[in-house]
Amino acid sequence: MEKRVIVLMGPAGAGKSSVASYLKKRWGIPQVITHTTRQMRTGEINGRDYYFESPTSFKKNHYLEKVEYSGHQYGSSHEGLLAGWQQNRLISIVLDTKGAATYRQELGQRAWLWYITVSDVTVLEKRLEKRGDQSAAIQKRLHSTEFKRDLVLPKILKNDANVVINDDWEKTKKVVDALVEGFESD
Ligand SMILES: Nc1ncnc2c1ncn2[C@@H]1O[C@H](COP(=O)(O)OP(=O)(O)OP(=O)(O)O)[C@@H](O)[C@H]1O
Ligand SMILES: Nc1nc2c(ncn2[C@@H]2O[C@H](COP(=O)(O)O)[C@@H](O)[C@H]2O)c(=O)[nH]1
């Protein structure tokens, strides 16, 4: 059966990383770890949450796609994707919507698009605060063009994406379970 990568996209704070962690814990679906030049947040671990890079080391990898988001570089490597697929039929990756569009263009239906969002966008700032992000970083992010762009699912992905409204974590887990079960029984 065909391999797929679950592409988790959506606004900052909506719960993309939380869903990726749940997919790993509940379903054994590993996450492709991407690269970034941003500073590590408290509790983050190099190699688990990201490969944290300097501007110089960032340039040395082979990226399927890379973007700038709120003033920092982010990129997903060909090697990471292929290594994930070597061991697993289903893997996940967390991307912004620009990266998700590139994944769809490059991988076609092998990129399984999930747009994670909330019904009330005012909760996003509160979630970032609760996560412990620095207030200057939160404000910079909330005012970035990338944050504003990702509040809406891009038109070109609209017909192809599963929309997961992550207002209530218990409900979200059930939606995620149903999506994975549908794939497993295919
Ligand atoms: N349904 C929920 N209800 C309340 N809090 C939640 C819910 N889902 C996730 N969170 C919390 O919100 C915060 C942001 O979640 P997460 O880091 O998964 O978001 P994200 O979309 O990956 O954000 P970013 O793009 O900024 O990295 C975390 O502290 C997480 O525990
Ligand atoms: N296009 C890509 N987007 C990525 C990649 N790695 C992460 N991201 C997205 O960046 C923003 C910011 O992430 P954060 O961890 O600093 O909050 C978020 O939307 C991620 O989904 C990547 O390799 N390519």
Q: What CATH code is carried by the domain that includes residue 58?
A: 3.40.50.300
Which pLDDT score is estimated for 186?
Answer: 72
Look over the chain and give the mean of its residue pLDDT values, rounded to a whole number.
96
Q: Ligand 1: does its nearest atom lie under 6 Å from the Cβ of 31?
A: no
The boundaries of the domain holding residue 127 are 4-184
Nearest partner of 91 among 48, 157, 27, 12, judged by Cα: 27
Which atom, in ligand 2's list, is nearest to the CA of 9? 21
Ligand 1, atom 9: nearest CA belongs to which residue? Answer: 15
Selection from 14, 20, 22 nearest residue 33 by Cα? 20
**Burial class of 150 by CB neighbour count within 10 A (0 to 12, 13 to 18, 19+):** buried
Q: What is the mean pLDDT of the segment spanning 56-75?
A: 96
Whole-number Å distance, alpha carbon 185 to ligand 2 midpoint, is 30
Task: Compute the distance between CA of residue 87 and CA of residue 33 in angstroms, rounded to an integer.
Answer: 15
pLDDT in tens, 113-166: 999 999 999 999 999 999 999 999 999 999 999 999 999 999 999 999 999 999
Which pTM does this prediction carry? 0.97
99 C-beta closer than 6 A to ligand 1: no
pLDDT band of 173, cuts 50, 70, 90: very high
Distance (Å) of CA 16 to CA 2, 89, 95: 24, 20, 9
- In the structure encoding, which two tokens stand for residue 119, read together? 């019904």
ipTM of this complex prediction, to 2 decimal places = 0.98
Taking residues 22-41, report their average pLDDT: 97
Sign of CA pseudo-dihedral 65, 89, 186, 14: negative
- Residue 179 CA to ligand 2 center (angstroms) comes to 23
Q: Considering its fold, how many domains does the chain have in total?
A: 1
Contact of 111 with 5, CB cutoff 8 Å: yes
Q: How confident is the model at residue 35 (pLDDT cuts 50, 70, 90)?
A: very high
183 CA distance to ligand 1 middle (Å):
25
The amino acid occupying position 69 is: Y
- Both tokens assigned to 16: 């993309």
